[in-house]
Every structure is written in structure tokens, then in C-alpha cells.
Amino acid sequence: MTPKEQAEEIIAQLKWKGPFVFMSWGASKFTYGTDLFIPLEDDKRYEQPCRVFIQFHVNGAIHKGYVYVVLTGADDYTIILVKERRKKVFPESKRSPMQIFYEMVSITEGIYCDELADTVDRLVENKIELPIDPTLN
């Protein structure tokens, strides 16, 4: 399979939750690639070897930012949530250009295709609080 076909398969697996799942997340700006590289603050970066990844922007109730769904060599997924940050290149100047970098929010590893859509939904839109078992007290 080509990287484009693999990216389309990831999107199809995310749509398994329902045809309107991307609308509920406010998803936009879709792209895919094979070399994951995320620039962080202070010239640091996050890199991960992968077969293919998709990236999209969300405007969910819990997370507003970018979601990376990474297909690893072990045929499982890693979900990375990041927020875009900006800071002035020259802080003392009023007209300084802005430097864009990303802040890592969370990394969730070892996700299989049958739990992919539910995991992204939980991280972006619906944080599920499990009831506390009263017998544990």
C-alpha cells in the first residue's frame, strides 16, 4: 500500500464511529506524511519513526489543536495531541515576527484499529469519567 492509501485507511477507521465524527470534533486541515517531525520550543523537536501518519486540526470540547494519528511498525497507533504556540522572536520589539512552535499535550500509545475512533473521541471531545467502585474503599 502507498502512504496515501494507508492514510485513507486510517481515516476510514476513524469514520467507523459514525459519518459525522469529524464534524463533531470540528476537524479540518487534513494532511498525511511518512516522516513525523514536530517542532517544539527552544529548538527542540519530537521525531518518531512511523509507516505513515495523518494530522488534522480539531476544535473539540476538551482539546483545541492538532491531532496526529501515527501508524507504527508494530501495526498499532500512537495518538499525539499538540497545541500551537507563538512567541515573539524579539520580545522587546513591538513589531517582532512570531515564532510558531508546538506544545505536547498528550501521547497515547498502543492503540489498535478497533479502539482508535473511541480513543480520539475521548481525548478530543468526550472525557469519560468512570464511576468509582464503592467496594474499593
Q: What's the pTM value of the predicted model, to 2 decimals? A: 0.81
Q: What is the pLDDT of residues 100-125, one digit of tens each?
A: 788 888 889 999 988 888 899 889 98
The phi, psi pair for 119, rounded to 5°, reads -70, -45
- DSSP H helices, the chain, are 3-14, 21-25, 116-124
- 40-94 pLDDT tens trace: 777 788 887 788 999 999 998 889 999 999 998 888 999 999 998 887 777 777 7
Answer left, alpha or beta for residue 65, where phi above 0 means left and psi between -120 and 50 means alpha.
Answer: left
Which of 34, 12, 26 has the alpha carbon at shortest distance from 116?
12
Grade residue 14 by pLDDT with cuts at 50, 70 and 90. Answer: confident
Take residue 113 and report the three cell numbers written for it: 484499529
Answer for the pair 77, 111: CB distance below 8 angstroms, yes or no: yes
Buried b (16+ CB within 10 A) or exposed e, 72-93: beeeebbbbbbeeeeeeeeeee
